[in-house]
Amino acid sequence: MMGDGVLGWPVVLSDGPVRLRPYRRGDAADWSAVRRRNEQWLAPWESAPPGPWYELNSPDAFRYLYRDQRRQARRGESLPFAVCLVESGVERLVGHLNIGNIVRRAFCSGYAGYWVDSAVAGRGVIPTALSLAVDHAFAVAGLHRIEINIRPENAPSRRVVEKLGFREEAYHHRYMHIAGAWRDHIGYALTSEEVLVEGGLLARWRRLQATRR
């Protein structure tokens, strides 16, 4: 379902039980609960300002992020999504995916980042969500290239992009300050030509799933 915003925003995307949608003000409590419950799962991989995890992931913190993400999306600088699962007709928030730092004109590129509730990890939620978002970014939002930077030690996140066919392009030394130190990252990328000829990244992901059944 498309919205009336600039370059295809806002938008709701879905495949099976996975739904990507814009955040709502009313997501504050659910977002906070998921984030607080997943501190050990998420904190080692995320850059964050100093402070206790409990406070940095409070409902009040969400409201600030909500306003900031909404502002960037309206300017065409990001595509932020709440990642939800819809099961038995009930939707629940289980993660986040953003294509941010979008640069237009001759570059037409953005960076993808994501996280997911550990309770649903391994169920294909993030590969599906990333496929949906990348296809939308290429086919509708006018992007040509998506980059993802991941710490070498973050094996689950690296598996997501590698099985979707993102190319490993670079090793970034001391790339980002996380958990008290400058951390190396591996750079992955994908361009529109690499997936549109196959019918999109979601089509590639579905074929991969079919071969594993």
Token pair, residue 176, equals 């980002």
pLDDT number for residue 210: 86
Q: How far apart are CA 152 and CA 130, in angstroms?
A: 19
Contact 145, 108 (CB under 8 A): yes
Contact 85, 94 (CB under 8 A): yes
pLDDT number for residue 6: 62
Q: Is 197 helix (H, G, I), strand (E, B) or coil?
A: coil
Token pair, residue 72, equals 């960037």
pLDDT number for residue 1: 38
Backbone angles phi, psi at 133, to 5 degrees: -65, -40
Contact 167, 189 (CB under 8 A): yes
If one counts every other C-beta atom within 10 angstroms of the C-beta of residue 213, the result is: 4
pLDDT number for residue 95: 98
Backbone angles phi, psi at 104, to 5 degrees: -95, -150
Q: Which of 213, 158, 169 is nearest to 191 (CA)?
A: 169
In order of their start, the domains of the chain are 13-211 (3.40.630.30)
pLDDT number for residue 212: 74
Instruction: Say how many residues make up the chain.
Output: 213
pLDDT number for residue 213: 66
pLDDT number for residue 56: 96
**Residue pLDDT tens, the chain, 213 long:** 344 456 779 999 999 999 999 999 999 999 999 999 999 999 999 998 889 999 999 999 999 999 999 999 999 999 999 999 999 999 999 999 999 999 999 999 999 999 999 999 999 999 999 999 999 999 999 999 999 999 999 999 999 999 999 999 999 999 999 988 999 999 999 999 999 888 999 999 999 888 876
